[in-house]
C-alpha cells in the first residue's frame, strides 16, 4: 500500500463579509508544500484573516490499485463478484 502526504488548511476571517467566498471559515486540502505555501501567503496578505491553522496528514493513496483481500490485483474494469444476500432463517414457533 502506498501512502501520500496531504495538508489540511483552515482559513478564518473576522467576518463572513470580508471573505471572498462569503463565509468566515474555509477548509482546503492540498497535495504539495508549494500549494500550502501559496495559500498561506495569500491568507497572510489579507488583514481580515485571523487564523491559518494547518496540519499534515498521511493517508493511503487510493489512486493506485492495490492487492485485494483475496490477494489478487484489482484494477480498472474489474468489479467484484456479486454477493447473494444472506438468507433469512425462520425459527419454528
Model pLDDT for residues 51-75, shown as the tens digit of each residue = 999 999 999 987 766 566 665 555 5
Query: How far are the Cα atoms of 47, 60, 65, 72, 91 from residue 68, in angstroms, in the given order?
Result: 50, 14, 9, 6, 36
How far, in Å, CA of 29 to CA of 23, rounded?
17
How far, in Å, CA of 88 to CA of 22, rounded?
53
For residues 44 and 52, the answer to whether their CB atoms sit within 8 Å is yes
Q: Residue 66 falls within a domain, yes or no?
A: no
What's the pLDDT at 62? 76
Of residues 91 and 33, more confidently modeled: 33
What's the pLDDT at 1? 75
Q: Residue 91 falls within a domain, yes or no?
A: no
Number of domains in the chain: 1
The 10s digit of each residue's pLDDT in 19-37 is: 988 999 999 999 999 999 9
Domain residues for 50? 3-55
Q: Residue 74 falls within a domain, yes or no?
A: no
Amino acid at each position: 500500500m502506498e501512502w501520500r502526504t496531504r495538508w489540511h488548511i483552515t482559513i478564518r476571517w473576522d467576518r463572513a463579509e470580508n471573505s471572498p467566498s462569503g463565509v468566515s471559515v474555509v477548509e482546503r486540502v492540498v497535495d504539495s508544500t508549494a500549494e500550502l505555501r501559496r495559500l498561506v501567503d495569500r491568507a497572510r496578505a489579507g488583514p481580515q484573516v485571523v487564523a491559518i491553522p494547518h496540519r499534515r496528514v498521511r493517508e493511503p493513496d487510493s489512486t493506485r490499485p492495490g492487492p485485494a483481500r483475496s490477494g489478487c490485483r484489482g484494477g480498472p474494469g474489474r468489479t467484484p463478484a456479486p454477493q447473494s444476500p444472506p438468507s433469512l432463517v425462520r425459527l419454528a414457533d
